[in-house]
Amino acid sequence: MNDQDLAAFLDRPLTAVAGTIGRDGSPHAVPLWYRYDGGRFTIWTGESRAWVRNLQRDPRISLTIAEHDRPFAAVLVRGTATVTTSGAALDEARRICARYIEASALDGYVEGFSDLQTIVEVTPDRVASWGRGY
């Protein structure tokens, strides 16, 4: 994909699968929602989740974003994550969730998870993509 195609693809409300490295060295993968701003990915979550604890120990992360219908385009990302926990997370949570949830349900959805106060920012080191899969 060229830069314009990549940005358009990542702007779609697709699910990403984040891969981290477990304490014992094994892979750990989890599906999640994200927002891409053209330079980094932002994810809203809770600090106690296993994949976040993995990142606090080892900030290397991979993201896979793939469509399930033709033409089976996909983006693979390797990068470094920064984990921040603060009350300001809910503002970013609204921006992320607005990609996936109707505006009329957005505030209720985010408030239902107000205990999630962690933002993970992923800065890509490498991005591979294709517009047509198998």
Averaged in consecutive runs of 10 residues, what is the pLDDT profile of the chain (134 residues)? 92 96 97 95 94 97 93 94 88 92 92 88 94 71
Instruction: Please name the helix (run of DSSP H) or strand (run of DSSP E) that holds residue 109, with its range, or none.
Output: helix 103-111
pLDDT for residue 105: 94
Closest CA to 54 of 88, 17, 16, 27: 27
- Residue pair 63/126 in contact (Cβ under 8 Å)? The answer is no
- Residue pair 21/60 in contact (Cβ under 8 Å)? The answer is yes
Pick the CATH number of 3-130 from 1.10.10.10, 3.30.70.2170, 2.30.110.10, 3.40.1280.10: 2.30.110.10
Question: What spatial distance separates the first Cα and last Cα of the chain, rounded to whole Å?
Answer: 15
pLDDT for residue 123: 97
pLDDT for residue 88: 79
- Residue pair 74/133 in contact (Cβ under 8 Å)? The answer is yes
- Residue pair 94/110 in contact (Cβ under 8 Å)? The answer is yes
pLDDT for residue 27: 97
